[in-house]
């Protein structure tokens, strides 16, 4: 890797990867803070702050920000997640100073104008409404809410209409001063970038960032609970999400869980896709995933199917989980590793993907992880480790079930839990 790292005297970390064959640069600021860092009365403020950063500064109006970056053919965007927030741009190499200046401006000099705030609240209320009209978004939000009941990590990132309507510029500034500090921020660039020049630009423009928070950042320890949440709607498809507590980023079984998710439902050759869709034709979409957080994780199986198929679909999924706790083939591990390796190498061909990957690794591990080291971690995964993990994940922990749509024929959670309580049980009981 052609990666260079500089930690400035201010505490801000600057990381670059030079890709000399390119003419463009992807750059951004990643903050180790997201919706989990909100207090009880701040639900949705991390996402609102991300929006308001583009709505004017002491030197630029919202229109100026948009026009200046687009006048040079560049792009500017941002994203809020559970544990991170990012602001990023992509420009040609000659326009890196402009992109750095704009990013620094929106993160250090945002005006949080009352009228702009009023308009942006209205925009976010529409965004919340659109999400509520999207069943495959709703099923995931409800899943998190019941899996982590009463906890910040389980709340929807967008907030609620009531919380969003009540936010003030003072609350936004308070969240900003508590979380957007140099010890939690990483400025990363990948592409046609010179490290020394870029670092100097960042040092000059981000000098006003606070080094320490105004008060300690909020982060309550996650407690996975599990449970059942259902919403009957008049839809063509039923959205069903069955999940379990997964592994945090730093846990030994994190990469093992990634491989297991790939084998079960990571592509067209995966077990669930072949059995549920190809062999039985029970649904159009089915896949497995594993999400890691700093202190917990989620292993889930998502399917979209007709309501009449549910009595057959759920037992088939449970049966595939049972089989994974009994037998995993070496060929499946090799295929999953090959897919992950391809994703890593393909990501290196995209400066935006590479910048995001480096930023995530810096936040999680404190350093970029070379691809050979990543693959070495995957090499130690055996069939025995995978079957042992599957047994513990699926049969030793409480499940979470979230469902939206025509779900009248979906079995009760007690039946599903019974089918999952022992690997060898007859899963037909889950059909109800």
Name all domains of the chain by residue range, CATH numbers in brackets: 3-205 (3.30.830.10), 227-431 (3.30.830.10)
End-to-end CA distance of the chain: 54
- Successive 10-residue mean pLDDT values, the chain, 432 residues: 93 96 97 95 97 96 98 98 97 98 97 96 97 96 97 96 96 95 97 98 96 81 97 96 96 95 96 97 96 96 97 96 97 95 90 96 93 88 96 94 98 94 50 36
Return the pLDDT at 8. 97
Alpha-helical segments (H) within 297-412: 310-324, 330-347, 351-365, 371-379, 383-395
Return the pLDDT at 425. 47
Return the pLDDT at 430. 39
Return the pLDDT at 431. 37
Number of H helices, E strands in the chain: 16, 11
CA quadruple 359, 361, 362, 367: dihedral positive or negative?
Answer: negative
| H/E run at residue 328 | none
Query: What confidence tens digit (pLDDT) does each residue in 236-252 have?
Result: 999 999 999 999 999 99
Which long-range contacts (C-beta less than 8 Å, at least 24 apart) are formed by 300-303? 300/143, 300/241, 300/242, 300/243, 300/244, 301/241, 301/242, 301/243, 301/264, 301/265, 301/272, 302/136, 302/139, 302/140, 302/239, 302/240, 302/241, 303/239, 303/240, 303/276
Return the pLDDT at 279. 96
Is 278 one of the catalytic residues?
no
Return the pLDDT at 344. 87
Return the pLDDT at 219. 80
Return the pLDDT at 424. 53
Catalytic entry in 17, 50, 83, 332: 50
């Amino acid at each position: 890797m052609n990666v260079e790292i500089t930690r400035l005297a201010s505490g801000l970390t600057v990381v670059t990867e030079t890709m000399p064959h390119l003419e463009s640069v992807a750059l951004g600021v990643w903050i180790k803070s997201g919706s989990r860092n909100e207090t009880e009365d701040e639900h949705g403020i991390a996402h609102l702050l991300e929006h308001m950063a583009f709505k004017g500064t002491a030197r630029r109006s919202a229109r100026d920000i948009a026009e200046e970056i687009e006048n040079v053919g560049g792009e500017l965007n941002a994203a809020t997640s559970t544990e991170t927030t990012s602001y990023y741009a992509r420009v040609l190499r000659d326009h890196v100073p402009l992109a750095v200046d704009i990013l620094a401006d929106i993160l250090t000099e945002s005006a949080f104008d009352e009228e702009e705030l009023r308009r942006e609240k209205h925009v976010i209320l529409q965004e919340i409404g659109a999400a509520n009209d999207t069943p495959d978004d709703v099923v995931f939000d409800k899943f998190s809410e019941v899996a982590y009941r009463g906890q910040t990590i389980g709340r929807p990132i967008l907030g609620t209409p009531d919380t969003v309507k009540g936010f003030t510029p003072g609350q936004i500034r308070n969240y900003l001063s508590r979380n957007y500090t140099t010890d939690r921020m990483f400025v990363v660039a990948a592409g046609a970038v010179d490290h020394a020049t870029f670092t100097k630009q960042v040092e000059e423009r981000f000098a006003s960032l606070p080094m320490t928070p105004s008060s300690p950042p909020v982060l309550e320890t996650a407690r996975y609970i599990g449970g059942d949440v259902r919403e009957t709607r008049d839809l063509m498809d039923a959205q069903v999400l069955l999940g379990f507590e997964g592994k945090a980023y730093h846990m030994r079984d994190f990469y093992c869980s990634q491989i297991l998710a790939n084998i079960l439902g990571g592509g067209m050759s995966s077990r669930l896709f072949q059995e549920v869709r190809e062999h039985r034709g029970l649904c159009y979409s089915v896949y497995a995933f594993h999400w890691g957080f700093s202190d917990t994780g989620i292993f889930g199986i998502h399917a979209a199917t007709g309501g009449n198929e549910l009595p057959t679909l759920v037992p088939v999924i449970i049966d595939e989980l049972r089989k994974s706790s009994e037998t995993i083939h070496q060929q499946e591990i090799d295929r999953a590793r090959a897919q992950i390796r391809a994703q890593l190498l393909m990501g290196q061909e995209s400066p935006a993907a590479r910048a995001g990957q480096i930023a995530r690794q810096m936040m999680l591990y404190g350093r970029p992880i070379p691809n050979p080291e990543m693959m070495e971690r995957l090499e130690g995964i055996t069939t025995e480790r995978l079957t042992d993990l599957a047994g513990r994940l699926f049969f030793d922990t409480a499940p979470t079930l979230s469902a939206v749509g025509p779900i009248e024929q979906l079995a009760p959670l007690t039946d599903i839990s019974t089918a999952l309580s022992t690997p060898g049980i007859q899963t037909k009981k889950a059909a109800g």
